[in-house]
Amino acid sequence: MDSISEKFVTAFITKDRWKLYLAGLGVTMEIAFFAAIIGVIIGTILALMKLSQKKDGKPTVLSVLATAYIDVIRGTPSVLQLLIMWFIIMANNKNGVLVACLSFGFNSGAYVAEIVRAGILAVDPGQTEAGRSLGLSGSQTMRLIVLPQAFKNILPPLGNEFITLLKETAIVGYVSLTDLTRTANQISSRTYEPFMPLIGAAVIYFVVIKILTLLLGRLEKRLRRADSH
**pLDDT score of 152:** 81
Rounded Cα–Cα distance for residues 176 and 97 (Å): 10
The structure's pTM equals 0.89
Nearest one of 48, 46, 36 to 159, comparing CA atoms: 36
Nearest one of 74, 68, 66, 67 to 111, comparing CA atoms: 74
Query: What residues contact residue 172 under an 8 Å CB cut-off, 6+ apart?
Result: 27, 28, 31, 82, 96, 100, 179, 182
Instruction: Give residue-wise pLDDT tens across range 13-45.
Output: 999 999 999 999 999 999 999 999 999 999 999
* All domains in the chain, ordered by first residue: 4-222 (1.10.3720.10)
Instruction: Count the residues in the chain.
Output: 229
Mean pLDDT value across residues 182-199: 93
> How many other CB atoms are there within 10 angstroms of residue 163's CB atom?
16
Rounded Cα–Cα distance for residues 29 and 13 (Å): 23
Instruction: Give residue-wise pLDDT tens across range 79-94.
Output: 999 999 999 999 888 8
**pLDDT score of 55:** 63
Q: Which residue has the higher pLDDT, 111 or 130?
A: 111
Mean pLDDT value across residues 51-73: 87
**pLDDT score of 143:** 78
| 146 HSE (CA, 13 A, CB side) | 28
**pLDDT score of 71:** 96
**pLDDT score of 220:** 81
**pLDDT score of 229:** 59
**pLDDT score of 125:** 79
**pLDDT score of 226:** 67
